[in-house]
Structures are given as structure tokens and as C-alpha cells.
Structure 1
């Protein structure tokens, strides 16, 4: 009887460890390798979210998109385009300069209607105009 309890406990621990690993590491996407579902300007996508946030969430949320605009702020792992698109970079790129036109591809993770900002993660440079 003790043997069955020990085996059942070990099986539960193994399943729990597998589930934990899969949730954190197994389902990761490589957005830079995906085709962009949409290619938009920063102004157009912000206008869409401002006019109908629910419809825009349905259209863009969790999708890879390419966004074009002017770099307004740079930090090592984040770029802000036109003061409205916040892109978390996968890797920093020292060639990017403030004020330059840029196209970035990333996954839409949400829109902050209070700040009027669209958040993207896993961003990479598509076109360094």
C-alpha cells in the first residue's frame, strides 16, 4: 500500500513539474519568425483603438503586427514610436536613433486607454528606414 502511495505522489509531482515547464517555456512564440498579420502606421492603429477598443482588441490582440512610425524615445530594451506605441525589444539595437522612421514587428499585448498607448512585446526591427 505504501508503494502505491509513493508511486502516486511521484507521478503527481512529475506531472506538476511537466505542466510548470510547459506553461513557462513550452508554448513560447517566435514572433520575429512569423509573418505580420497586419502592417499599419502608428497613427492609424491608435485611431482604431480610440474609436472602438473592443473591435480593435478582437482584430489585433495576440497577433504579430508591423507598425511604422517615428522613434520618440529609446531605452536599452524598449522603443516608443510616436509617443503612443510601446515596444519591448527582444534584443537591443544600438543603430536605432531618436527621430528616425522605423518599422517594428511585435505581438500586441494590450491597449492602455488611459495613457493612449498600445503595448507590444517580442519586438524586432523590420525596416530601419
Structure 2
């Protein structure tokens, strides 16, 4: 009886340890990941207008690079908007030197399309010119 109890305790400890490491994995470092896709805001918009469910399967939660012109910057919330359609948020502050009208390449995690605002959303954004 003691052997069975010992085996059950060992199995529970192993299962709890495995569950802990599964639940608390390291977070993704989007800035150091290679982009799965590289495209313009217009081409992303075209793909979503043709078949949004297929486009969601293709891009959702993937690291993508998007090219476009800066429409606006929102410094208080560390956000950028490209071509009036792609909204991205930085983890830290907005990098200096960015101005409206400038062409940039933005890399981040694609988190979806907001039907209400008509915008694509990205987070953990980094920008290069």
C-alpha cells in the first residue's frame, strides 16, 4: 500500500511540474523573431476583403512586417497608425524621429481586424525606416 501511495505522489509531482512549465512558458520576443509575412497595408486589406476567415487563419498571432506611410502617432498610448488602417502599439515609448507622412516598415504581432473601427491591429511593434 505504501508503494502505491508513493507512486501516486511521484506521478502527481511530475504532472504538476509539467503543468507549471507548460503554463508559464517564456514570452515571445517579437522584436527578435523573423517575420512570417512581409506586405503592404493595402495588400493586407485586399486579402481580408476577399476572404476574411482565410486571411485570419493566415496572419493571426503571426509576426508580420507591414510597409506604409505614417498617418498618425499617439504618444500618450505609444501607438502608431499606418495608411489610416493599421494600428500598432509599442511596448515602450514611440521611437524618436517618426513623423506623420514618413514611409516606414513596421514589424509586430498581428492580433486581428477591428470591424467597428475598420482597422487592423498589431502589438509589440518595432519600426524601421
The aligned counterpart of 1:89 is: 90
Cα RMSD of the aligned pairs, angstroms, is 2.2
2:82 and 2:38 mapped to 1: Cα distance?
15
The corresponding residue for 1:70 is 69
In the alignment, which residue of structure 2 is the partner of 1:8?
none
The structure having more radius of gyration, on CA atoms, is 2
2: distance between equivalents of 1:113 and 1:27?
A: 31
Match of 1:115 among 100, 114, 117: 117
How many aligned positions are there?
113
2:49 is the alignment partner of 1:50? yes
Structure 2 SS opposite 1:62: coil
Runs of 4+ in 1 over 6 A off after TM superposition: none
Match of 1:30 in 2: 29
Q: Which runs of 5+ in 2 are unaligned?
A: 1-11
CA distance in 2, matches of 1:85, 1:50: 15
Give 1:35 deviation, angstroms: 0.4
